[in-house]
Chain A
Amino acid sequence: MMSILQVRHTVGTVLLFLGLLAGTSCGSANSGNSEILIFAATSLTNALDEAIAAYEARNTVQVLVSYGGSQTLAQQIATGAPADIFISAGRFPVDFLEEREVGMLNKTDLLSNRLVLVTEKNGPNLNDLLDLTSDKVGRVAMAAPDLAPAGGYAKESLVNLGLWDELQSKMAFGADVRATMAYVESGNADVAFVYQTDAAIAGGLEVIDVVPIDSYSKIAYPAVLLSGGDNPAAATEFFDFLNGEEALRILVNHGFSILEGGK
Chain B
Amino acid sequence: MEILPVIGLTLQIALVATIIDVPFAVGLSWLIIKKRVPGSFVLDIFMSLPLAVPPVVVGYLLLMLLGRNGPLGGIIQNVFGADVTFTWVAAAIAAAIVSFPLMARTIMVSMRGVDPVLERSARSLGAGPWRVLFTITVPLAYRGILAGILLGFVRAMSEFGATIVVAGNIPGRTQTLPLAIFSRVQLGDDDMALRLVAVSVGLAALTLALHNWLLERSQGNTEAR
Contact assessment for B83 and A82 in the assembled complex, using a CB-CB cutoff below 8 Å: yes
A181 at the B interface (CB under 8 A): yes
Compute how far the CA of A178 lies from the CA of B171 in the bound complex, rounded to whole angstroms: 18
Whether B73 is near chain A, meaning CB under 8 Å from some CB there, is: yes
CB within 8 Å for A66 and B5 given contacts A79-B85, A80-B67, A175-B186 = no
User: How far apart are B21's CB and chain A's nearest CB, in angstroms?
Assistant: 13
User: B188 touches which one: A2, A13, A182 (CB < 8 A)?
Assistant: A182
Pick out which of these stretches binds chain A: B28-36, B119-127, B139-147: B139-147
A14 touching B149, Cβ below 8 Å: yes
A24 to chain B, nearest CB (A): 6
Decide yes or no: A76 and B11 within 8 Å by CB, A13-B210, A14-B149 being known contacts: no
Within 8 A of A (CB), among B5-27: 5, 7-12, 14-15, 18
Chain B residue with minimal CB distance to A198? B188
Q: How many residues of A contact B (CB 8 A)?
A: 40
> Do A80 and B9 touch (CB < 8 A)?
no
A63-88 vs B, CB cutoff 8 Å, 1 = contact: the mask equals 01111100000001001111000000
Q: Which A residues are within 8 Å of any B CB, using their own CB?
A: 1-2, 7, 10-11, 13-14, 17-18, 21-22, 24-29, 31, 35, 37, 42, 45, 64-68, 76, 79-82, 175-176, 178-179, 181-182, 185, 202
B86 contacts A76, C-beta separation under 8 Å: yes
Bound Cα distance from A252 to B63, whole angstroms: 38
Contact between B186 and A1, CB atoms less than 8 A apart: no
Q: What residues on B are CB-neighbors of A7 within 8 Å?
A: 139, 142
With an 8 A cutoff between CB atoms, is B112 at the interface?
no
**Contacting pair B83 A80 (CB below 8 A):** yes
Q: How far is the CB of A207 from chain B (nearest CB, A)?
A: 15
Let me know if B67 and A79 touch, CB within 8 A: yes
Taking A22-B15, A80-B73 as contacts, is the C-beta distance between A10 and B146 under 8 angstroms? yes
A66 touches B221 (CB 8 A): no
Taking each of B83, B143, B186, which has the highest tally of chain A beta carbons within 10 Å of its own beta carbon? Answer: B186
- How many angstroms between the C-alpha atoms of A45 and B187 in the bound complex? 8
Which B residues lie within 8 Å of A24 (CB)? 7-8, 11
Contact between chains at B173 and A80 (CB < 8 Å): no
Which listed residue, B11, B143, B185, B221, touches A182 by the CB 8 Å rule?
Answer: B185
A19 to chain B, nearest CB (A): 10
Closest to B188 in A: A182
Instruction: Judge whether A178 and B187 touch: CB under 8 Å.
Output: yes
Contacts A17-B210, A25-B8 given: A178-B86 contact, CB under 8 Å? no
